[in-house]
């Protein structure tokens, strides 16, 4: 009998958590043959709502759900956790940038980094979703000195997926026809969605669309998609964010497609000249539970300028949380 895998979700009674918990419990993240125990964390005022989530999870009678822990104690939620999806944090409202949340949310991630350090499985894989996700992941890993920093990642898969959807619509093809999309940098308005290495049905994407569209339409649309969703819904994206989180962890755990790569924000090892240590989104391939940055891509002047701009923002964010890292 396979031992259940322990998956912690923070902010589990929130918008994203409410989507995520059910999809993970039903086997959509780790597959139909991996039983999971969900370890759900909330703050005390949300424990009533969390109880309701637990009741509904049980009522689904998912064959892959081996147990539920609902708690307001990080040490319980992270106990022996194999995966930790750090979603619990304040979302931005209209007119805000994600980095405006930094000071408010940063302390959550220093405390949770410490709690992961002291309680999680030594091979835990951490995905930070709460914004500003890259710098929160930096804070979390710097507060978990006994864990390998490579176990800490932040989510740019939603931006990657948004970029796929825009390019598919423009070329009139399915997203299934696209390979090698890249999302560089920060999950913020400076992010750089890059089609330079993309193919669509095997043809180089830059030969199918004009440069003006890429510069004036594609890049700003992807950069501003989160704000557009907030404007339309009144609250930030939730179902698409949960879906991207599932994609991120599934590919990390089970492997990215053999003929493609995905985008993940990971601690930089200096690849492509990006400052070591900051959590920066790169093209990665995942195999046997590990991610590896895709090496050797040719970088144009146009790309280099944008990659540097988003790096500069992450360095600024890092400077703003010096006392926590
Ligand atoms: N990286 C991405 O692509 C991406 C996409 C969408 C949203 N987000 C971010 O994800 C976060 C959550 O968004 P949401 O829409 O689910 O928000 P939400 O307000 O609906 O839910 C957040 C939940 O977190 C809980 N919480 C707050 N502090 C906590 C703590 N210390 N420990 C545990 N739980 C805590 C709250 O009680 C709430 O239930 C926001 O920061 C949002 O900006 C990121
Ligand atoms: O835009 C936001 O604040 C929410 C999220 O980060 C998103 O990209 O949808």
- Ligand 1 centre distance from Cα of residue 10 (Å): 8
**With a 6 A CB cut-off, is 236 part of the ligand 2 pocket?**
yes
**Would you call 202 helix, strand, or coil by DSSP?**
coil
Spatial contact of 60 and 25, defined as CB atoms under 8 Å apart: yes
Q: What is the pLDDT of residues 84-143, one digit of tens each?
A: 999 999 887 888 888 788 888 899 999 999 999 999 999 999 999 999 999 999 999 999
For a mutational test of ligand 2's pocket, the pick from 92, 133, 183, 240, i.e. the residue with the most ligand atoms closer than 8 A to its C-beta, is 92
Atom of ligand 2 nearest to the CA of 133: 6
Per-residue pLDDT, 1: 57
Residue nearest to atom 5 of ligand 2 (CA): 226
Rounded to the nearest 10°, the torsion over CA 245, 293, 131, 166 is -70
Residue among 126, 16, 1, 17 nearest 68 (CA) = 17
Within 10 A of 290 (CB to CB), how many other CB atoms are there?
13
**With a 6 A CB cut-off, is 132 part of the ligand 2 pocket?**
no
- Per-residue pLDDT tens digits of the chain, which is 325 residues long: 579 999 999 999 999 999 999 999 999 999 999 999 999 999 999 999 999 999 999 999 999 999 999 999 999 999 999 999 999 998 878 888 887 888 888 999 999 999 999 999 999 999 999 999 999 999 999 999 999 999 999 999 999 999 999 999 999 999 999 999 999 999 999 999 999 999 999 999 999 999 999 999 999 999 999 999 999 999 999 999 999 999 999 999 999 999 999 999 999 999 999 999 999 999 999 999 999 999 999 999 999 999 999 999 999 999 999 888 8
**With a 6 A CB cut-off, is 186 part of the ligand 2 pocket?**
no
Q: What is the DSSP letter of 63?
A: T
pTM (global) more than 0.95: yes
Per-residue pLDDT, 91: 83
Residue 147 tokens read as 């864990």
Residue nearest to atom 4 of ligand 1 (CA): 129
> Does 187 qualify as catalytic in the annotation?
yes
**With a 6 A CB cut-off, is 281 part of the ligand 2 pocket?**
no
Q: In what order do the strands lie in the sheet with 178-179?
A: 178-179, 199-200, 203-204
ipTM of the shown complex: 0.98
**With a 6 A CB cut-off, is 98 part of the ligand 2 pocket?**
yes
- Ligand 1 centre distance from Cα of residue 187 (Å): 15
Catalytic residue among 82, 160, 187, 197: 187
- Ligand 2 centre distance from Cα of residue 33 (Å): 32
Within 10 A of 2 (CB to CB), how many other CB atoms are there?
8
Strands 5-10 and 83-86: parallel
**With a 6 A CB cut-off, is 157 part of the ligand 2 pocket?**
no
- Ligand 1 centre distance from Cα of residue 47 (Å): 15
Within 10 A of 104 (CB to CB), how many other CB atoms are there?
10
Per the listing, tokens 């499985």 go with 121
Measured in whole angstroms, the distance separating CA 320 from the mean position of its chain's CA atoms is: 22
């Amino acid at each position: 009998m396979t031992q259940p895998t322990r998956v912690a979700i923070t902010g589990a009674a929130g918008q994203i958590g409410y989507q995520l918990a059910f999809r993970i419990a039903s086997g959509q993240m780790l597959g139909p043959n991996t039983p999971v125990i969900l370890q759900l964390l909330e703050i005390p005022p949300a424990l009533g709502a969390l109880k309701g989530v637990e009741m509904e999870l049980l009522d689904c009678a998912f064959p892959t759900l081996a147990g539920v822990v609902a708690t307001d104690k990080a040490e319980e939620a992270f106990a022996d956790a194999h995966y930790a999806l750090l979603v619990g944090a304040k979302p931005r409202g209209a007119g805000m940038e994600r980095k405006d949340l930094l000071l408010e949310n940063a302390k959550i991630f220093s405390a949770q980094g410490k709690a992961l350090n002291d309680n999680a499985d030594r091979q835990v894989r951490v995905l930070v979703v709460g914004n500003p996700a890259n710098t929160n992941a930096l804070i979390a890993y710097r507060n978990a000195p006994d864990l390998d920093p490579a176990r800490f990642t932040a989510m740019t898969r939603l931006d990657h997926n948004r970029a796929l959807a825009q390019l598919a619509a423009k070329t009139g093809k399915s997203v299934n026809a696209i390979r090698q999309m890249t999302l560089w940098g920060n999950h913020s308005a400076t992010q750089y969605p890059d089609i330079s290495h993309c193919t669509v049905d095997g043809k180089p994407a830059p030969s199918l669309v004009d440069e003006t569209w890429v510069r004036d339409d594609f890049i700003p649309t992807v950069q501003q998609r989160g704000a557009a969703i907030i404007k339309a819904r009144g609250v930030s994206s939730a179902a698409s964010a949960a879906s991207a989180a599932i994609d991120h962890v599934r590919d990390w755990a089970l492997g990215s497609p053999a003929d493609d790569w995905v985008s993940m924000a990971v601690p930089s090892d200096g690849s492509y000249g990006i400052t070591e240590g900051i959590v920066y989104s790169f093209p990665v391939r995942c195999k046997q539970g590990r991610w590896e940055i895709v090496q050797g891509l040719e970088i144009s002047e146009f790309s280099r300028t944008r990659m540097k701009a988003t790096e500069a923002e992450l360095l600024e964010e890092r400077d703003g949380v010096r006392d926590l890292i």
